[in-house]
Amino acid sequence: MNYKTKDLKTLQDTLISKMKEESNEDSFDILFANDSFSLKAIDSKKAIFVTDSSSSATFINQSNYPLKIKNILDNLTADDLEVEIMSSDDFLKLSQNDHKKQNLDKKVFPNCSLIQTYTFDNFVVGSSNKQAYLASLQSVDYPAKYNPIFIYSKSGLGKTHLLYAIGNRYKEKYPDKNIQYITTNIFVDTIYNHFRNDQNIEIESIKNYFYGVDLLLIDDIQFLADKKSIQMIFFDIFNILVSTGKQIVITSDRSPIELKGLEDRLVTRFSGGLSLNMTPPDKKTLREILNLKIQTHGYKLDDFDEEALDYLAMHHSKNVRELEGALTTLLFSMATLKPTGNISLEFVQEVFAEENKIIERKGAVSINSIIDDVASYYSLTSSQLRSKVRTSQIALARQIAMYLSRKILNMPYQTIGREFQKDHSTVVTNVSKIEERVEKDNSFKKTINELTKRVSKQ
């Protein structure tokens, strides 16, 4: 039979009250008080008890208590049990040694292992992720100097990449140490499975397993929200690791204080080390990431026009994973359509034409929506803005639309020019004309602010 935590407590209480009936020794209440003697785990073969000190474990083991305990327990459970009594320190050591010997890693979390191709070498560093990068390096070079290290960002910005990089570097540096990378979802599922099967002993052994881990990398901790019982188990694991100087690195899609549905004591612990935020990369970093990924796929940068790559990066600037996805789409189109010569801006635009239409339909800001909005603000039509007509009202609206496309979408000048049948340098001049006027003319500045809000759909 298997037992849940609450069953263990009931069993322990019944056992102790039965023992008390038979005992008249003065020391009984001290030895078997609730917090100094507890049933840690039991299955059909063995029951493990833990005492708060090694002297009381020795004392009990030298007395006839173990036999009494066995008799009562055998009666209660209808099993033939081996009874083991040890100090909590020995219990901890034993479980750590156990786990060093047998590679429980595979058994406990079979689907969680480090992916070796994500390293610090292929993580591009920019102002948006520099602090998280440096802290990650520190977690390997000076384990537990900051504990835990808590890295948070929106999705697709390199959190998992950093965790793998930490794990891979740590493995290289300390080959004998135990590393556990785990996603919070797998952690939760594993524990739930054991709850469901009433396998209390298994939960104890999972906890003990973590006590043997030297570096814990736990991904997407936000999924611990609203799962109280799992949070309690994680809290124990967390405390043991931190108090024994083991490094923990946690990632999340939001900061500790923004994590709703998490117990306060966990939030406090998470904030107790170093919390770092990563934001979307700036343009230069994005391009470096894109360049690196192109080369990783075995392509040469020379085969692409700069503008084509700028366009790709700019249209997926909020999420590196999406940028990678777009690159895969582009490389696939190149392989199937076999364009001649360099990959041009036009080719890339064509590949993503459908996707752009979908984005536009969803109401995202695009150069088309900017032209529409500015035109309607000035009671003009979009085609007037796109035309070569140069009346002052149309020319001004056109310049503003160019300026906003540049400011809001960060579009290349040449792409903007194409929409208005103008060359690169005309766009540059027009954008700077508006910039200058904004600086000097306060009421014009108000108009631009108002328009910015409108076209950004705020």
Residues that bind ligand ADP (CB under 6 A): 118, 122-124, 129, 153, 155-161, 289, 320-321, 324
Q: Contact 15/50 with Cβ under 8 angstroms? A: no
Q: Contact 128/281 with Cβ under 8 angstroms? A: yes
* 136 near Mg ion (CB under 5 A): no
Of 38, 42, 61, nearest in space to 2 by CA? 42
Of 137, 148, 322, 125, nearest in space to 242 by CA? 148
To ligand ADP, the closest distance from the beta carbon of 158 in angstroms equals 3
Which of 74/324 has CB closer to ligand ADP? 324
Which of 93/321 has CB closer to ligand ADP? 321
Count how many Cα atoms sit within 13 Å of the Cα of residue 250 in the half-sphere of its side chain. Answer: 29
Residues 6+ apart with CB under 8 A from 431: 399, 402, 403, 406, 413
Among 96, 129, 160, 231, binds Mg ion (CB under 5 A): 160
Which of 51/160 has CB closer to Mg ion? 160
Q: Which does 155 bind (CB under 5 to 8 A by kind): ligand ADP, Mg ion, none?
A: ligand ADP
| Joined tokens for residue 316 | 């997926």
| Joined tokens for residue 374 | 């500015």
Tell me the C-alpha distance between 252 and 184, whole Å.
10
Which of 34/127 has CB closer to ligand ADP? 127
Q: Which does 123 bind (CB under 5 to 8 A by kind): ligand ADP, Mg ion, none?
A: ligand ADP
Count how many Cα atoms sit within 13 Å of the Cα of residue 28 in the half-sphere of its side chain. Answer: 13
Piece of 30-38, 123-131, 160-168, 371-379 that binds Mg ion (CB under 5 A): 160-168
Residue, CB closest to ligand ADP: 158
Q: Which does 211 bind (CB under 5 to 8 A by kind): ligand ADP, Mg ion, none?
A: none
Count of positions on this chain that bind Mg ion (CB under 5 A): 2
To ligand ADP, the closest distance from the beta carbon of 295 in angstroms equals 12
Which of 111/425 has CB closer to ligand ADP? 111
To Mg ion, the closest distance from the beta carbon of 251 in angstroms equals 7
Three-state SS at 275: strand
